[in-house]
């Protein structure tokens, strides 16, 4: 079987897993509104099947991976397990406080900060981002509401990446891993002469650029770097001491899980060191399973990070007539994505960077939460195998999964 390498430029924001998972499992809700979100799928949860959970992460050959870890928590049970090694050179096993690149899970932190500013009256989600960042986007673009950035209904045209900076092969990825981007350089990849892909608010298309703009919005409103704003508002209050925004630093400091990328000849190269400035605002986060579990628990608890009325917005999908550009139902809300597996509605976010794949999902009532991270060596559709095994093991009744 021939696999197709997917570059960062092909999936801006490194959202491969998000796209794959949502493609094969329909959204939990098809209409907007918090009441429908909570009632559309059963909240009854089976007891944890530890054998199924262990089996889900232990097969590191299908697809090829070097490590995996899974933390399941919530009111309906707790389990944590690992497989493989954090470092192929030393053979050290994975530990719960080892950091990893969490990719697009970054977007949930950005959305939370934007919603906090909205709840404080410092910005209006229904106003165009152009009102807050005048002159940033080409003048020919239609007005884009802040909420349309956060739920991926902006209609922005595709970015244009210079041929000299493309990463279409694993060798090119390795060659460009120390490239440094500024936020303005990222925004400048939006073409001035291209029309909007669709009228904002009428369709949905997952785009990392939406969150580059959202992070710039945070900085404009607060006058501080977006990472510092999130640190002050979320990381430190929750004690997320292993979560950080590395900026231009390509290294992961302290105990961490190494990521590896298979070259065209099949050999593995360590791709842990990587300048994440290309994922600024939308995919640069470093974290751990324990920190992400603590974050999603706090986020889904009304009043902890967001007042209830504001939190409800994170569980509202667009109106039924708003569909993904491929015609499938919308699956992104303000900051989150949703999927129903074995009748269990999960909300959260997936993330992917070269050598890393992760997710942070939970039922809205927090009866079950799952955070996983694993290190695939191939950036292709084979990653779906691990994702589906984990999703199935987390939600399937024990008697049926044996």
Amino acid 203: pLDDT: 98
Between 38 and 363, where is the model more confident?
A: 363
Amino acid 250: pLDDT: 97
Confidence of residue 164 (pLDDT cuts 50, 70, 90): confident
- Domain count of the chain? 1
pLDDT, mean of residues 175-195: 95
Confidence of residue 4 (pLDDT cuts 50, 70, 90): low
Residue 44 is assigned to a structural domain of this protein: yes
What is the domain extent for residue 259?
A: 16-401
We report the CATH number of the domain holding residue 37 as: 3.40.710.10
Residue 354 is assigned to a structural domain of this protein: yes
Residue 331 is assigned to a structural domain of this protein: yes
pLDDT, mean of residues 230-256: 97
Residue 2 is assigned to a structural domain of this protein: no
Residue 227 is assigned to a structural domain of this protein: yes
Amino acid 331: pLDDT: 97
Amino acid 365: pLDDT: 96
What share of the chain has pLDDT > 70, as a percent? 88
Confidence of residue 344 (pLDDT cuts 50, 70, 90): very high
Q: Determine the straight-line distance between the first and last CA of the chain, rounded to whole angstroms.
A: 29
Q: In degrees rounded to 5, what are phi and psi of residue 223?
A: 75, 15
Residue 10 is assigned to a structural domain of this protein: no
Residue 83 is assigned to a structural domain of this protein: yes
Between 1 and 350, where is the model more confident?
A: 350
Digit-coded pLDDT (tens) for 182-191 = 999 999 999 9
The conformation of residue 234, written as its DSSP 8-state character, comes to I
- Tell me which residue has tokens 């993904």: 324
d(CA 320, CA 30): 6
Residue 222 is assigned to a structural domain of this protein: yes
Amino acid 11: pLDDT: 44
Q: Which residues pair with 337 in a beta bridge?
A: 332, 348
Between 162 and 25, where is the model more confident?
A: 162
Digit-coded pLDDT (tens) for 91-138 = 999 999 999 999 999 999 999 999 999 999 999 999 999 999 999 999
d(CA 130, CA 139): 9
């Amino acid at each position: 079987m021939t696999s197709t390498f997917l570059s960062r430029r092909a999936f801006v924001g490194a959202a491969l897993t998000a796209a794959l998972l949502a493609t094969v499992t329909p959204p939990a809700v098809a209409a907007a509104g918090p009441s429908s979100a909570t009632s559309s799928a059963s909240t009854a949860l089976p007891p944890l099947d530890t054998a199924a959970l262990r089996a889900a992460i232990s097969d590191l050959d299908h697809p090829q991976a070097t490590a995996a870890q899974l933390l399941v928590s919530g009111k309906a049970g707790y389990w944590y397990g690992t497989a493989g090694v954090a470092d192929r050179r030393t053979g050290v096993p994975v530990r719960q406080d080892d950091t990893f690149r969490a990719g697009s899970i970054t977007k949930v932190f950005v959305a939370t900060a934007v919603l906090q500013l909205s709840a404080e009256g410092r910005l209006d989600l229904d106003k165009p981002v152009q009102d807050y960042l005048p002159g940033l986007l080409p003048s020919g673009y239609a007005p884009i509401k802040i909420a349309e950035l956060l739920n991926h209904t902006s209609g922005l045209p595709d970015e244009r990446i210079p041929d000299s900076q493309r990463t279409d092969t694993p060798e090119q990825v390795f060659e460009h891993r120390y490239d440094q981007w500024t936020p303005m350089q990222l925004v400048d990849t939006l073409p001035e002469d291209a029309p909007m892909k669709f009228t904002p608010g009428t369709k949905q298309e997952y785009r990392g650029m939406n969150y580059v703009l959202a992070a710039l919005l945070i900085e404009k409103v607060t006058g501080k770097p977006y990472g510092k704003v999130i640190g002050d508002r979320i990381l430190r209050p929750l004690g997320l001491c292993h979560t950080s925004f590395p900026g231009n630093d390509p290294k992961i400091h302290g105990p961490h899980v190494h990521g590896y990328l298979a070259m065209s000849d099949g050999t593995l190269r360590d791709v842990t060191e990587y300048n994440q400035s290309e994922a600024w605002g939308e995919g640069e986060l470093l974290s751990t399973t324990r920190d992400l579990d603590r974050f999603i628990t706090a986020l889904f608890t009304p009043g902890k990070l967001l007042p209830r009325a504001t939190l409800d917005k994170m569980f509202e999908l667009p109106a039924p007539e708003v569909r993904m550009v491929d015609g499938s139902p919308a699956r992104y809300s303000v900051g989150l994505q949703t999927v129903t597996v074995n009748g269990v509605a999960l909300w959260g976010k997936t993330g992917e960077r070269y050598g890393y794949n992760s997710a942070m999902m939970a039922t809205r009532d927090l009866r079950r939460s799952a955070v996983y991270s694993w290190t695939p060596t191939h950036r292709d559709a084979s990653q779906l195998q691990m994702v589906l095994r984990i999703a199935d093991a987390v939600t399937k009744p024990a008697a049926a999964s044996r």
